[in-house]
Amino acid sequence: MAYRFETEVVHGVHQSDPQTGALSMPIYQTSTFIFKDSEQGARRFKGQEAGYIYTRLGNPNTDALGKKIAVLEGYEAGLTTGSGMAAVANVIFACAQAGDHIIVDDTVYGGTHYLLEDEIKRIGIEVSRVDASRVETVARAMKKNTTLILIETPANPTLKLIDIAAIVEVAHQGKALVCVDNTFLTPYYQRPIEFGADIVLHSATKFIGGHGDVVAGVFVGKKDFIAKAYKIATHYGWTMAPFNAWLLLRGLKTLALRVEKSSQNAFQIAQWLEKHPAVERVYYPFLPSHPQYELAKRQQKGGGAIISFELKGGYQAGTKLMDSVKLCTLAVSLGDCDTLIQHPASMTHAGMSEDAMREAYITPGLVRLAVGVEHVQDLIEDLQQALHKI
């Protein structure tokens, strides 16, 4: 029987303990698994029999998490990794090798930027950075050896949107795959499979975990792609720990509740920020002032919990605001129950050159607010007193 999202996120791929009947899936905190005899061990190593061997190669907790995200996103299979960046690297390595070409949007998470510049180009994979919100620039960037288009939508941290269906059309004409980083919205608010995306990845550290206590990644796609990616992941040792998978499975049960509440808060705060005299501009997909508002309404089921806004006072105003908030927590990351605030120019993107920041639309006064589940009026009052000091 097919269930609605709120039910599926609680009950989907549920595994209770068959011996004790424990409701919560046990933590299989083990490095290795016992074979009943040498023949069984041989069969498992040869792939002739399903079963566990060694946690780097598979574990019930990590497998359950990968399957659950695949179900929620609508794909055949999923694979977990030790971090969101491991998921990004795993996808790239599964899609491209030396001599291949990939296209990446010009606005991406800082860690992805550094991976591309410091590692991916170094091993001989050609990278083109383009504004993927303009589909014609993607089409012009396509080459015969293009194997992957990697996008974030909404993009981090500017909340720029990308038309997934349009990018898929261009990519598939050239036989490239499309991977969507869906960290900001989760499958509760956006399902890229509905627009033809081949792969979806998450920094599971964020909304999937939801409590700021685990670092992890996950991605989903067709079975043959995940099988290929699995070999790469096990060779590099990008394995997620069983306890981390257990924490994520627990956090997932409240995903719909947390995302709904934090997004309601974010929408109210975004509306309030638009009217504040210290704020030059607010970027939030479900505000009519967002330049891609119509795309947001068509592609997303909600605005999400992330707001970016530009302060009139530039860099100094940004750092002053960081030092003046009391309830909002000065920290990177997002998707927690706590509201987190950060200033990209002085924090997450500080290592980028001025040209690189300008190309990624990271302006000196840009602030990113990852809204949590607190009472919205308390958050507004905290921002009010902090903005008053600028």
pLDDT at position 356: 78
Among residues 43, 56, 228, 281, the one annotated as catalytic is 56
Mean pLDDT of 126-138: 97
**What is the average pLDDT value for the chain, to the nearest integer?**
95
Q: Is residue 273 over pLDDT 70?
A: yes
- Residue 347 pLDDT level (bands cut at 50, 70, 90): confident
Among residues 106, 163, 181, 382, the one annotated as catalytic is 181
Report the SS3 class of residue 203.
strand
In degrees, rounded to 5, the angle at the alpha carbon of residue 100 between the alpha carbons of residues 97 and 106 is 105
| Complete domains list, the chain, with CATH | 5-252 (3.40.640.10), 256-387 (3.90.1150.10)
Side-chain half-sphere CA neighbours of 98 within 13 A = 4
Q: Is 181 in the active site? A: yes
Residue 167 · residue 132 · CB < 8 Å: yes
Among residues 44, 160, 206, 261, the one annotated as catalytic is 206
Q: Is residue 15 over pLDDT 70?
A: no
Predicted confidence (pLDDT) per residue in 29-81, tens digit: 999 999 999 999 999 999 999 999 999 999 999 999 999 999 999 999 999 99
Q: What is the DSSP string of 283-347?
A: E-TTSTTSTTHHHHHHH-SS--SEEEEEETTHHHHHHHHHHH-SSSEE-S---SSS-EEE-TTTT
Q: Is residue 2 over pLDDT 80?
A: no
- Residue 346 pLDDT level (bands cut at 50, 70, 90): confident
Q: Is residue 1 over pLDDT 70?
A: no
Q: Is 109 in the active site? A: yes
Predicted confidence (pLDDT) per residue in 189-236, tens digit: 999 999 999 999 999 999 999 999 999 999 999 999 999 999 999 999
Among residues 28, 75, 109, 189, the one annotated as catalytic is 109
pLDDT at position 331: 95
* Gap between the Cα atoms of 281 and 311, Å rounded: 7
Residue 74 · residue 199 · CB < 8 Å: no
CA nearest to 222, candidates 79, 72, 76 = 76
pLDDT at position 70: 97
- Residue 335 pLDDT level (bands cut at 50, 70, 90): very high
Question: Exposed/middle/buried for 135, CB within 10 Å: 0-12, 13-18, 19+?
Answer: middle
Q: Tell me the backbone φ, ψ of residue 198, rounded to 5 degrees.
A: -85, -35
Report the SS3 class of residue 127.
strand
Predicted confidence (pLDDT) per residue in 276-293, tens digit: 999 999 999 999 999 999
Which DSSP symbol is given to 75? -
Q: Is 250 in the active site? A: no
Residue 140 · residue 174 · CB < 8 Å: no
Question: Exposed/middle/buried for 103, CB within 10 Å: 0-12, 13-18, 19+?
Answer: buried
Percent of the chain with pLDDT over 70: 99
Residue 227 · residue 71 · CB < 8 Å: no
- Residue 82 pLDDT level (bands cut at 50, 70, 90): very high
Predicted confidence (pLDDT) per residue in 361-378, tens digit: 789 999 999 999 999 999
* Gap between the Cα atoms of 240 and 244, Å rounded: 7
Q: What is the DSSP string of 22-49?
A: -SSPPP---SB---SSHHHHHHHHHTSS
Q: Is 236 in the active site? A: no
Mean pLDDT of 158-176: 97
